Amino acid sequence: MARPRPAPPARRPNRQTETTSAPAGDAARWLYGSHAVNAALANADRRPRRLLATADAAASLAPNPPIRPEIVERQVLDQTLPPGSVHQGLALLADSLPEYTAEDLIDRAGPASLMVVLDQVTDPHNVGAIFRSAAVFGVSGLIMTDRNAPPLTGTLAKAASGAIEHVPLARVVNLSRTLRTLQEAGFWCIGLDAAAPKTLEQAVGSGRTALVMGAEGDGLRRLTIETCDELAKLPAGGTFTSLNVSNAAAVGLYIAFTKRGG
C-alpha cells in the first residue's frame, strides 16, 4: 500500500559542516584536470591555495583566475600528484568544499526536486560520474553514507568533470533514518532494483523524488530496501539486465527528468 505523502515541514536555518572524512594532507586537496580545476576556480565556496600549470595549459584557464598560476614543467605536476593522474597540465590545491546535512538539502529543495541517494557506493570513478549526471539533470542534492563511500579527492573530481562544484553533498551516518527524514519532507523514495515489478517510468511522480542506488554487486542493503517507498527497475530489452551503477544513475535520472517534464 502506498504511503500517504506528509506535508513538508517548516524550513530550518541552513547549516554547513566541513567534511571530516577526507584523508588528511595536501594530496587529498589537490584537484587536477581542465574541467575540475576551472570549475573549482569559478566556485566562490572554494579557497584556492596553489595553482600549478604548464605554459600551454595556463592559456586554457578562464580569464582572471582568483589565484596566479605557477608555471611549471609537466614533470613537476607528475611528481606532485598521485601516480597516473591525468592532469592535462593543471593542478589546484584548494580547501575542501563545505558539506551539508540532509536537512540542509531538504531546506534547499523545491516542491518538485530530485535527489540522489547512494547506499555505500565506494568507487570514486562511479561516484564522480554520478555527480556529473546529477548536475546535467538538475539534481538538487546528493546524499551518501559516511562510511563505505569515497572522499572528494582529485580522482573523484576529475571523473565528475567539475560537477562536484555544482551539486551539494551530504554525508549521513544512518541511511535508513535519512530516508525517513526525506519521506517526512514529502520525498517519494524509489530504490533502483533490477528485480522490481514496476519500471522507474511507472514509479516516478511529479512531486519531490529521491532515487536510491546501491553498490555495484551488492545493490541496496536490506534495511534500505525496507525503508524505500517502492522499488523500480530500469527498462531492458535483452537477457542481460545489469548496468554499472553510474550508467544506471544516468539512465534513471534521464527517465525521471523527462517523465517530470524536464
Query: What's the whole-model pTM score?
Result: 0.86
Q: How far is CA 171 from the centre of its chain?
A: 11
Last residue of a domain, one of 60, 94, 128: 94
What pLDDT does 238 receive? 67
The rounded distance, in Å, linking the Cα atoms of 256 and 56 is: 41
Mean pLDDT of the chain: 88
What pLDDT does 39 receive? 96
**Stretch 15-38: mean pLDDT:** 60
Q: Are residues 218 and 125 in the same domain?
A: yes
The rounded distance, in Å, linking the Cα atoms of 261 and 203 is: 15
Interhelix angle for 124-136 vs 245-259, to 10°?
10
3-state secondary structure of 19: coil
Nearest-5° Cα angle at 252, 250 to 257: 95
**The pairing of beta strand 209-214 with beta strand 188-192:** parallel
- 150-186 residue pLDDT tens: 999 999 999 999 999 999 999 999 999 999 999 999 9
Q: Are residues 126 and 250 in the same domain?
A: yes
Residue type, 21: S
What pLDDT does 241 receive? 63
What pLDDT does 29 receive? 81
The rounded distance, in Å, linking the Cα atoms of 49 and 46 is: 10
Residue 140 confidence (pLDDT) above 70: yes
Q: Are residues 57 and 178 in the same domain?
A: no
- Answer yes or no: is 13 within a domain: no
Residue 61 confidence (pLDDT) above 60: yes
Backbone angles phi, psi at 70, to 5 degrees: -90, 115
* Residue whose entry in the numeric block shows the C-alpha cell 517526512: 184
Write the CB contacts of 203 (distance below 8 Å, at least 6 apart in sequence): 190, 230, 232
Task: Determine what percent of the chain is predicted with pLDDT higher than 90.
Answer: 77
The rounded distance, in Å, linking the Cα atoms of 118 and 11 is: 24
The domain of 188 spans 98-259
Q: How confident is the model at residue 10 (pLDDT cuts 50, 70, 90)?
A: very low
Q: Are residues 128 and 110 in the same domain?
A: yes
Cβ atoms 120, 210 nearer than 8 A: no
Residue type, 108: R
- Answer yes or no: is 113 within a domain: yes
In total, how many domains does the chain have? 2
What single-letter DSSP state applies at residue 68? P
Q: Are residues 105 and 36 in the same domain?
A: no
Torsion of CA 210, 216, 220, 221, to 10 degrees: -140
- 32-55 residue pLDDT tens: 999 999 999 999 999 999 999 999
What pLDDT does 3 receive? 54
Cβ atoms 164, 152 nearer than 8 A: yes
CA distances from 174 to 13, 76, 181, 224 (A): 22, 42, 11, 10
- 212-239 residue pLDDT tens: 999 877 899 999 999 999 999 998 876 6
Least confidently predicted of 113-122, 189-198, 233-242, 244-253: 233-242
- Answer yes or no: is 158 within a domain: yes
Write the CB contacts of 3 (distance below 8 Å, at least 6 apart in sequence): 183, 229
Q: Are residues 109 and 227 in the same domain?
A: yes
What pLDDT does 58 receive? 96
- Answer yes or no: is 11 within a domain: no
Q: Are residues 85 and 111 in the same domain?
A: no
What pLDDT does 1 receive? 43
Residue 187 confidence (pLDDT) above 50: yes
